[in-house]
Structure 1
Amino acid sequence: MNTAWMDVAAGTGAGAAGLIVAGVVIAAVLVGAFWLGVRVMRRESPPPTPAEQPRPPEGGPVREVQEQREPHEVPQSDRRLTPHDLPGHGNAGTRTGASKERPRWDEGSSGSFGSGGAGGR
């Protein structure tokens, strides 16, 4: 019978002492982190009271506005324009459109990636 592994497992006790020391160090770090967290929380301002909570405007809550937007026209030039030449540095602005109705698909068109078919017909 081969008992060499038993001799290694038994050892001199230094390995067990090392594990105990490591466990104590980890426990001390966790306790220190908890203590530090408590100190930080005590320095923070308390949560707002119900009287300090935000209130809706006098006219009631703000409602959603639905409108049709149109892009601003691109300025005409004799040379090629880069985004830096455009107003807003290439961020396309919009304005309120004249039509208030949402654009819909034409009746009988496919409405699908330009296939040109009859759609659902």
Structure 2
Amino acid sequence: MNLTAYEVAAAGSAAGFVAVLLGGVVVTAVLIWAVLLGIKVRKREPRRPRPDEQPTLPASGAVHETREQRTPQEVAGDERLTPHTLRPSGGTRSGDQRRPRWDSGSSGSFGSGGPGGA
């Protein structure tokens, strides 16, 4: 016979039933408080933009990704480069726009590049 927690608590003692009942009331109160807090926080947020306020495409159409090879920036002396000392555009556009490929016979970033085996 399967008994619920309420039946077990009621069968054991009245104090057990009261404890389970108070636990349920506490959980319910915490959930109600969380919902009210969420409503309060949401009221402080700025309103959502209307459909006519949404961003639109530029007149020239969608912007597409551009891929280009850039020349590396040179480091002056032994001074370490930090993000605020870099030029904002990175290096200049490279004259050779071919994408770099792995050298044939090299293993990329794994191992020593030698033949496989045990």
Instruction: Provide Cα deviations, 1:98-121, integer angstroms capped at 9, x if missing partner.
Output: 112223456xx324246377xxxx
Counterpart CA distance in 1 for 2:80 and 2:33 is: 55
1:21 corresponds in structure 2 to 22
- Aligned CA-pair RMSD: 3.1
Residue 97 in 1 paired to residue 78 in 2?
no
TM-fit CA distance, 1:10:
4.8
2:105 corresponds in structure 1 to 110
Where 1:16 maps in the other structure, the secondary structure is helix
Where 2:71 maps in the other structure, the secondary structure is strand
Q: How many residues matched?
A: 99
For structure 1, the residue ranges without an aligned partner over 5 or more in a row are: 1-8
Contact 2:69 2:93 in 1 (8 A): yes
1:30 corresponds in structure 2 to 31
Which protein is richer in strand relative to its size? Answer: 1
Counterpart CA distance in 2 for 1:48 and 1:11 is: 58
Change in CA separation of 1:102 and 1:11 when aligned onto 2, cut-off 3 Å: closer
Where 1:57 maps in the other structure, the secondary structure is coil
How does the TM-score come out when normalised to structure 1? Answer: 0.60
| Higher gyration radius (CA) | 1
Residue 88 in 1 paired to residue 106 in 2?
no
Percent identical: 41
